[in-house]
C-alpha cells in the first residue's frame, strides 16, 4: 500500500512539473494532458460570417470597472501579468451579457501577438481579464468544479497610436506604484463574440466562458517592443496556436436597437444559407 502511495505521489509531482515546465517554442502543440485531449480548447479563429447573432438579454454589466484601483504588475517568462492588490473593499465584477451569475475579477495579463484571430487576422496584442464565479471564492476551485467557472474578457489591440493605459502598465512593470481603471482595458463599444472554451495555458482547463470584444484598442509599435522587452529574446511571441472549434458555436452579441439587431440576424441567416 505504501509503495502505491509513493508511486501516486511521484506521478502527481511529475504531472505538476509538466504543467509548470512549458513554453511557447511550439505554440502549445507540445503541451500535455487536456491541452492535447480536450474538445473545447482555446483560442480559436472567430469567423464572423459563421457566428450566430443574439439580440435578446441583458447587456454586459461592469461593477467597479470605472474605479481607479492600486495594482501590482508582475512579469514572468510566460505572460505579462497584472494582479490587483488584496483590497476587500474593492470588488470588481461582471454579470449579465449571457453570463450565468456574478464573476469576480482576479487578474489581467497579456499575450503578444493575439491568441484569438478574427477572420484569420492576428492582432498585435491581446489582454485577458480573468474572472472566477463568485460562489467559488477563487479561480482554482472554479476551474475544477464548473465548466463555466471562469469568465475571461478578451480585448484585441491593433497597431496604431500609443495607448496611455498601457503606458501605466509599463511603468508598473518598471517597479512604480500605479493605479488603473480596468474599464480602460475594454473598448468603448462592448459588442462581443461568445463561446465555451478553455484556459490558453496549461493545464488548459475546459472551464471558461469566453467574451472576445469585436472592437479593438490601439497600441504603438514602441509599446509592443517595450512589452516584449520584459521577456527573454527567444520569446518572440506568447500565443497558443488556434484550436479546432469542433461542435461548438460562436455567438455574436450586440446591443443596438432591436430593429437593427433583427436586420443583422436576417443578413447573417442569408449568409449562412448562401
What residues are labeled active site? 78
Instruction: Select from 162, 164, 217 the least CA-distant residue to 187.
Output: 217
Residue pair 82/108 in contact (Cβ under 8 Å)? The answer is yes
Q: What backbone phi and psi angles, to 5 degrees, belong to 243?
A: -110, 165
Q: CA torsion angle for 173, 178, 181, 185 (degrees, to 10)?
A: -10
| Consecutive H or E run containing 6 | helix 2-20
Residue-by-residue DSSP string for 48-116: GGGPEEE--SPPEEEESTTS-EEEEEEE-SS-EEEEEPP-TT---EEEETT-SS-EEEEEEEEESS-SS
Amino acid at each position: 500500500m505504501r509503495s502505491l502511495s509513493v508511486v501516486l505521489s511521484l506521478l502527481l509531482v511529475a504531472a505538476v512539473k509538466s504543467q509548470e515546465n512549458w513554453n511557447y517554442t511550439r505554440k502549445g502543440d507540445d503541451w500535455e494532458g487536456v491541452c492535447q485531449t480536450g474538445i473545447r480548447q482555446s483560442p480559436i479563429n472567430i469567423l464572423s460570417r459563421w457566428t450566430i447573432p443574439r439580440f435578446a438579454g441583458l447587456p454586459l454589466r461592469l461593477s467597479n470597472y470605472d474605479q481607479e484601483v492600486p495594482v501590482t504588475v508582475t512579469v514572468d517568462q510566460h505572460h505579462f501579468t497584472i494582479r490587483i492588490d488584496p483590497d476587500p473593499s474593492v470588488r470588481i465584477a461582471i454579470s449579465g451579457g449571457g453570463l450565468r451569475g456574478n464573476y469576480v475579477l482576479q487578474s489581467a495579463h497579456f499575450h503578444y501577438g493575439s491568441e484569438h484571430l478574427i477572420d484569420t487576422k492576428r492582432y498585435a496584442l491581446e489582454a485577458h481579464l480573468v474572472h472566477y464565479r463568485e460562489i467559488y471564492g477563487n479561480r482554482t476551485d472554479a476551474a475544477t468544479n464548473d465548466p463555466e467557472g471562469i469568465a475571461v474578457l478578451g480585448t484585441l489591440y491593433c497597431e496604431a497610436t500609443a495607448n496611455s493605459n498601457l503606458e501605466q502598465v509599463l511603468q508598473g512593470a518598471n517597479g512604480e506604484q500605479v493605479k488603473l481603471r480596468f474599464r480602460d482595458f475594454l473598448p468603448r463599444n462592448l459588442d462581443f463574440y461568445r463561446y465555451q472554451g478553455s484556459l490558453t495555458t496549461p493545464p488548459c482547463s475546459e472551464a471558461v466562458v469566453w467574451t472576445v470584444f469585436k472592437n479593438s484598442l490601439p497600441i504603438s509599435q514602441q509599446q509592443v517592443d517595450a512589452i516584449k522587452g520584459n521577456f527573454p529574446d527567444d520569446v518572440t511571441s506568447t500565443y497558443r496556436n488556434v484550436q479546432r472549434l469542433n461542435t461548438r458555436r460562436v455567438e455574436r452579441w450586440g446591443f443596438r436597437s432591436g430593429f437593427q439587431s433583427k436586420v443583422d440576424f436576417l443578413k447573417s441567416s442569408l449568409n449562412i444559407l448562401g
